[in-house]
Structure formats: structure tokens, C-alpha cells
Amino acid sequence: MPTNDRFLSRLAWLTLAGALLILVWRSAPLVEGWFAPRQAEPRTITARGEIAADEKATIELFENARDSVVFISTRGLVRDFWTRNVFSVPRGTGSGFIWDDAGHVITNFHVIEGASEASVKLADGRVYKAGLVGASPAHDIAVLRIGVGFKRPPPVPLGTSADLRVGQKVFAIGNPFGLDWTLTSGIVSALDRSLGGEKRATIEHLIQTDAAINPGNSGGPLLDSAGRLIGINTAIYSPSGASAGIGFAVPVDTVNRVVPQVISGGRYIRPALGVQADEAINTRLKRLLGVEGVVILRVTPGSAAEAAGLQGATVSPEGNVIPGDIITAVDGKPVDSVGKLLARLDDRRVGETIKLEILRSGGKSEVALVLQPGN
């Protein structure tokens, strides 16, 4: 037999043998299945032992706090373009929590903003129509009220935020994406953050956390490891709109200062100096003057600022702005923007005396001032 024919014959046999081996290998599970028993018993469960202490603590925290957290759904009015009829349609959902035994529910202002009605669902399934008591948009806080006549859910235990430290464990309970009563955990990532935008005022003193916060968590409680309220989950920082490990919460010390005023009067009255300032103008003037602070544009007649001798800016005959007093610090804490000044004042109460550090004609001085009610 010629050499080429023998080579081709061997190659053909090798190819056939390889194909048979592959066929047998692929058919092995099928053949095994023919001879395997048709019935099988459930596998024996492996004992896990005791749940870890930190897991027990987390479970207990959730079970104790769950009944205090609520699911909020809102509806808005829309008008049909053709018939001009007005319809009530679902608008959005969010979270909230029970504040006291009178049925007050706390949530974010942006959860109910623009809504015509809201309903509150409790952890036991009961649903109530909620009335709006009042709000403080500057703090993104709103107070609702429901008429719970019996089996009132307990208020969330109150904590403090002034003594928080970066690295503390925190827990968020809410209704992300409508998935009700969801628990996530993390740590305090940073403190005293600021958050604002084109459509909302800058909120100061925020708690930053890496606990997963998503749309629907807004208005829910942020708790410490003792199960105490330390903040209201208010926003996330994410290009995709979902949790990216950066969430923000309004600190409970702010909540505890704002909410009682809203309940008693329907709104929060901010402490004020009696001066006028503008963020955009202030930014330009700071750059022009080469200073850090808040330039007082005008002092309101009869105000606390006038009584303290503060001076506003003037305009020269040539149209140039001649700065008056520039506020650089409040009670020793520096301010470099109008938003920061408002936040510093917001830490105090109407009627309290504060000390302002100011620049006047290039020199530094200190002025005492009694805070007045703002608008």
C-alpha cells in the first residue's frame, strides 16, 4: 500500500476513535441516569450552632424598629388635555417613621412635595389617609399625621447626632423601589456634609453613610447600633440613580429642633440676623475682594443687626459697590458662604445671643447680636 494511503487510513481511524471517545464521554451522564435510583431522600441538614452575637443584635434591632417605620404613597392631580377632567394618579412612594403617640409621621419634604394626597401604611398592614401638618423645605423635613385610634405603633427611640463619629455602625430601614421594610447596614462615612442643587436649597450638617439607600428609602430612619434615631435618609449620590455607597441623612439634632416647631405652628421659623445677602453676588464679591466670608448687602431697619451696629454695602456715584461688614465667623466657627451662615444660625434658637466676627474697613472686630425670628 502506498505511503500516502497508509497515512490517510491511520488518520481516518484516529479520527473515528476520537469521535467515539467524545460520544462515550458525552453519553456517560445519560447512561448513568438509566442505572441511577429513581427516588432520593432529602439530604441531612447540617446544624449551624448559635447565631453570632452581632447577628442577634441586628435581628433584635430590626424587629424592635420595624413597627415604627411606615410606607408612604402619594397621589397627584392631573388634567386630561382633551376632556379637561381632573384625575388623581399615583405619584410616588417613600418611607417615614412614627414620631410620637399623637400619630405624627416624619418624612422628607421631597417625598410629599407636589402631592394632592398621601396614605400611610403601617407594618401590620393598616392604611390611613394622612394630613399634612407642615414642613420645612430648607431641611427637607415634612410632618404628616394619621388618626390611629388603637394599637398605636411605638415612636422611634430618639438619639443624638452631635456625638457621632466616623466609623460607627448605622442601619437604614425603608422601602427601596417599593420593597417594603428593607434593612441595610453600613457605617458613618463622613459628617457635616452639604448637599444642594439647582432645584433645592443647600442642606447642611448631613450625615454621609455607605448603608445602601435607594429611591424609596427617602424619609426612613437611620439608626445607630442601639436602635436610636440618628437621622432621616434623604438622598443618594449616584450617576445611575441607584445606591453607589454614598447616601446622606438629615441629622436627628436638626430634626428634633425643627419638628416641634412644625407641629406647633405648621412651619419652622429660622433664627435670623436681619441682614440681606445673596449667594451669587457673594461669590463674585469674595473673588473681587480676595476675602472669605459673607458680604452684608443691606441691614434691615429695626432689625437685630441694626441694633448691633452692623453695616451694609453702599454704592458709589460711579456705580461701584463699596463693601460694609463682612461676616467671617459665628461663635468662632468660620463661614464662607450664605448657606454656611444660615446653617450656623440654624444651630441656635431665636432669642439667643451670638458673636459675629466681621471685617470692617480691613480690620477685624467682634459683634454680639440677639437672634430674631426670620421669614
Catalytic residue, candidates 68, 95, 161, 218: 218
CA 297 from centroid of its chain's CA atoms:
33
| Residue 140 bears catalytic tag | yes
Contact 207, 223 (CB under 8 A): no
Say which amino acid occupies 15.
Answer: T
What is the sign, positive or negative, of the torsion defined by CA atoms of 291, 343, 184, 177? negative
Longest dimension (CA), the chain: 122
Report how far residue 230's alpha carbon sits from residue 214's, in angstroms, rounded to the nearest whole number. 18
Catalytic residue, candidates 68, 73, 104, 110: 110
| Residue 110 bears catalytic tag | yes
Report how far residue 227's alpha carbon sits from residue 61's, in angstroms, rounded to the nearest whole number. 6
Burial 255-288 (b: 16+ CB within 10 A, else e): bebbbebbbeeeebbbbbbbbebeeeebeebbee
Cα-based torsion angle of the residue sequence 183, 184, 186, 189 in order, rounded to the nearest 10 degrees: -110
Catalytic residue, candidates 140, 210, 224, 347: 140
Residues annotated as catalytic are 110, 140, 218
